[in-house]
């Protein structure tokens, strides 16, 4: 049975982004160890440099689509887009970090290295074509994020969040592994391509195991993507984690998660045992997420919790595309485009919102009321936040609108008119709480304390990040084909 081990062909160019990213992160750890304390701040700029380098290497690697690393990775157009989104998100996250890291006395080296490791996990997740690789990259990602969540060691909320995230995450991973085991048991392979090939031959018995396995994998992903009913961890973790990390969890890990889910779903979708009915559960999860996320967000007073619930809702919107991809092959291309575009849009608007939250947050406080009169004290920040909120609401001509438009039109083309209507209604509801932030910023008097104490300067890196994401939110909203035309 056991095949002879052979030396896998390595395709250096193709695997370079992953290898180099790993080495880069290790090098940052080492550099941090041996540098004198006052020069350790170099870690974050180094990290950013690394992201740029990886971006360059990725473009090289994706010149020709291929399956390097013993066929365990697949470098296709879809993965390319995901990696672009992840790298943009990672780069922006590093840019919005310095002030916060400085203010909260977070160790620079570990912070940067773990961010890079998390990114490594994400980009691997986006290209992994095999279940074990998928699991491992998911774990690289998750473990890094667990630590990053608790990296504010003096802050009990941060530790609490990390503990919750870790325990529940480990719990969900167990189900994911279980699901993978079922799929392997039923088909005898962990390669998604091979699984897809062997499925038609599967008997009644194995078909059942495939279903159970896929259900478990889906449940595992629902946790990672904070989809209802497995969303309960998200508000606590989002609130407790350091703000840039919250931004990264909210954006990067979702992008990677959806990318991986896409791969899994694609391998099963063409199996004739999967009828349209099969994916009804996705329908339910999407609706639940949109409704619970949007309604629960209305009563939140903390901006991070608000964005947590909003991210649950947005996961619901995005899941619609997965549903369409899985159940209606005719609309698959459109839905995949919608998925990719929305991931980018979602990434940009959330990072912008969190970027502003970092820029005007004071120590340990992210209550919405503290944004009162922000338009008076720092109009540019308020404008950026307003832009993020409007884009999240889905007001044209921002990316948020175009993204929702793509998703709902894909849903309608696939015949899920009711889902589009529910989504639309949900986004009408969402206007209430997004708008409240704007109202507070523009129409409330700043508190005396806020008006008197000068805000600390935003910092060049963060300003750059805010500028870039604002401009991209508008430009990609007006010229969406710039993004979709990349490849």
Partner 1 sequence: MLDYVWLVPFLPGCAALVIGLFGKWLRTRSGYVAIAAMLGTIVVSLGCFWDILHGKGPFTQHLFTWISVGEFKAEAALLVDQLSVVMLLVVSVVGSLVFIYSTGYMKGERGYARYFAQLSLFAFSMFLLVLADNFVLMFIGWEGVGLCSYLLIGYYMDKTWAADAGRKAFIVNRIGDFGFLLAIFLIFWTSGTLTFSGVFDQAPVIYKYGGGVVTAITLLLFMGAVGKSAQIPLFIWLPDAMAGPTPVSALIHAATMVTAGVYMVVRCNVLYSLAPTSMEIVAIIGAATAFIAASIGITQRDIKRVLAYSTISQLGYMFLALGVGAFAAGIFHIFTHAFFKGCLFLCAGCVIHAMAGDNDMFHMGGMRKQMKITWLTYFAATLAISGFPLTAGFFSKDEILWATFRSGHLILWLVGLVAAFMTAFYMFRSLFLTFHGESRAPEKIKAHIHEMPRSMTFPLVVLAFFSLVAGFFSIPKVLKGSAWFEHFLHPVTNRGAEILHELHVADPTPHVPELELLLMGASTLIVLLGIAAAYAVYIKGWPEIPKAWAQRFGVFYKLSFHKWWWDDLYNSTFVQGTIRLAKAAWQFDIFVIDGVINGTAFMVRSVASRLRKLQTGQLQAYGVGMLIGINLIVLLFLLTR
Partner 2 sequence: MLQAYFPVFLLLLFGVGFAVFTMLLSHFIGKKKPTPVKLSPYECGIKPIGTARIQFFVKFYLIALLFLLFDMETIFILIWAVAFHDKSIQVFALIEMVVFITILLVGYAYVWRKGALKWR
Q: Residues 459, 99: contact at Cβ < 8 Å?
A: yes
302 binds partner 1 (CB under 8 A): no
Of 160-179, which residues contact partner 1 (CB under 8 A)? Answer: 163-164, 167-168, 171-172, 175
Q: Which one of the spans 27-35, 50-58, 295-303, 349-357 is the region binding partner 2 (CB under 8 A)?
A: 27-35
Residue 474's nearest CA partner among 360, 382, 395 is: 395
Backbone angles phi, psi at 15, to 5 degrees: -90, -5
CB of 69 to partner 2, least distance (A): 13
**Residue 410-439 contact track with partner 2, rule CB under 8 A, x = bound:** ------------------------------
Among positions 322, 338, 374, 422, the unique one binding partner 1 when judged by CB under 8 A: 338
- Out of 51, 296, 357, 437, the only residue in the binding site for partner 1 (CB under 8 A) is 296
Q: Which does 203 bind (CB under 5 to 8 A by kind): partner 1, partner 2, none?
A: none
How far lies 374's CA from each of 154, 356, 386, 451, in Å? 29, 11, 11, 9
> What part of residues 257-286 is at the interface with partner 1 (CB under 8 A)?
273-275, 277-278, 280-281, 284-285
Residue 398, helix vs strand vs coil: coil
Reading the block at residue 23, the tokens are 């080495």
Query: Taking the complex as a whole, how short is the minimal distance between the CB of residue 246 and partner 1, in angstroms?
Result: 18
Are the C-beta atoms of residues 50 and 24 closer than 8 Å to each other? yes
CB of 174 within 8 A of CB of 166? no
Tell me which of partner 1, partner 2, none is bound by residue 306, counting a contact when its beta carbon lies within the kind-specific cut-off of 5 to 8 angstroms. none
Q: Which of 13, 29, 55, 147 binds partner 2 (CB under 8 A)?
A: 29
**Residue 34 interacts with partner 2 (CB under 8 A)?**
yes
Candidates 28, 243, 240, 43; CA nearest to 154 is: 240
212 binds partner 1 (CB under 8 A): yes
Report in angstroms how near the CB of residue 136 gets to partner 2 at its nearest: 13
Contacts 24+ apart (CB under 8 A), 414-417: 414/324, 414/327, 414/328, 414/330, 414/331, 414/335, 415/328, 416/283, 416/320, 416/323, 416/324
Q: Is 42 in the site for partner 1 (CB under 8 A)?
A: no
DSSP type of residue 396: T
Q: Which residues pair with 365 in a beta bridge?
A: 362
Decide which of partner 1, partner 2, none touches 424; Cβ closer than 5 to 8 Å per partner kind: partner 1
Size of the site for partner 2 (CB under 8 A): 9
* Rounded (10°) CA dihedral 19, 23, 25, 27: -170
Of 31, 232, 464, 475, the one binding partner 1 by CB under 8 A: 232
| Cα–Cα distance for residue pair 143/147, rounded to 1 Å | 6
The answer to whether 34 contacts partner 1 (rule: CB under 8 A) is: no
Which tokens hold the place of 116?
């890079």
User: What minimum distance in Å lies between the beta carbon of 234 and partner 1?
Assistant: 10
């Amino acid at each position: 049975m056991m095949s002879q081990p052979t030396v896998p062909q390595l395709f250096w160019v193709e695997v370079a982004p992953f290898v180099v990213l790993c080495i880069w992160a290790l090098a940052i750890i080492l550099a941090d160890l041996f540098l004198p304390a006052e020069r350790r701040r170099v870690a974050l700029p180094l990290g950013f440099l690394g992201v740029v380098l990886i971006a360059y290497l990725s473009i090289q690697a994706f010149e020709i689509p291929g399956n390097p690393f013993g066929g365990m990775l697949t470098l296709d157009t879809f993965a390319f887009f995901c990696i672009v989104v992840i790298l943009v998100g990672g780069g922006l996250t590093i840019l919005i970090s310095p002030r916060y890291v400085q203010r909260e006395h977070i160790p620079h080296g570990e912070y940067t290295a773990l961010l890079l490791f998390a990114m490594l996990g994400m980009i691997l997740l986006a290209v992994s074509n095999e279940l074990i690789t998928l699991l491992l990259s998911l774990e690289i990602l998750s473990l890094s994020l667990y630590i990053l969540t608790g990296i504010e060691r003096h802050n009990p909320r941060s530790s609490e969040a990390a503990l919750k995230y870790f325990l529940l995450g480990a719990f969900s991973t167990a189900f994911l592994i279980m699901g993978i085991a079922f799929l392997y048991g039923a088909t005898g392979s962990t390669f998604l391509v091979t699984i897809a090939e062997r499925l038609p031959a599967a008997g009644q018995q194995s078909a059942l195991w495939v279903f159970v396995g896929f259900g478990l994998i889906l449940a595992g992903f629902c946790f990672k993507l904070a989809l209802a009913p497995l969303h309960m961890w998200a508000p606590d973790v989002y609130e407790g984690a350091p703000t840039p990390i919250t931004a990264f969890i909210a954006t990067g890990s979702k992008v990677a998660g959806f990318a991986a889910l896409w791969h899994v779903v694609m391998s099963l979708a063409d199996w004739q045992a999967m009828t349209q009915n099969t994916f009804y559960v996705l329908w339910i999860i999407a609706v639940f997420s949109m409704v619970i996320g949007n309604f629960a967000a209305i009563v939140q007073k903390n901006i991070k919790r608000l964005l947590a619930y909003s991210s649950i809702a947005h996961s619901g919107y995005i899941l619609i595309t997965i549903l369409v991809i899985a159940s209606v092959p005719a609309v698959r291309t459109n839905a995949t485009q919608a998925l990719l575009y929305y991931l980018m849009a979602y990434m940009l608007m959330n990072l912008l919102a969190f970027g502003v939250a970092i820029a005007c947050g004071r120590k340990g406080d992210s209550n919405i009321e503290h944004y009162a009169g922000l338009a008076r004290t720092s109009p540019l920040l308020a404008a950026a936040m307003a832009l993020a909120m409007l884009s999240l609401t889905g007001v044209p001509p921002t990316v948020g609108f175009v993204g929702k438009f793509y998703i709902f039109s894909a849903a309608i083309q696939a015949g899920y008119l009711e889902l589009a209507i529910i989504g639309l209604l949900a986004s009408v509801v969402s206007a209430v709480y997004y708008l409240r932030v704007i109202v507070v910023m523009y129409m409330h008097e700043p508190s005396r304390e806020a008006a008197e104490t000068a805000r600390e300067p935003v910092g060049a890196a963060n300003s750059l990040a805010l500028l870039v994401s604002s401009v991209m939110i508008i430009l990609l909203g007006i010229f969406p084909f710039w993004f979709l035309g990349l490849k």
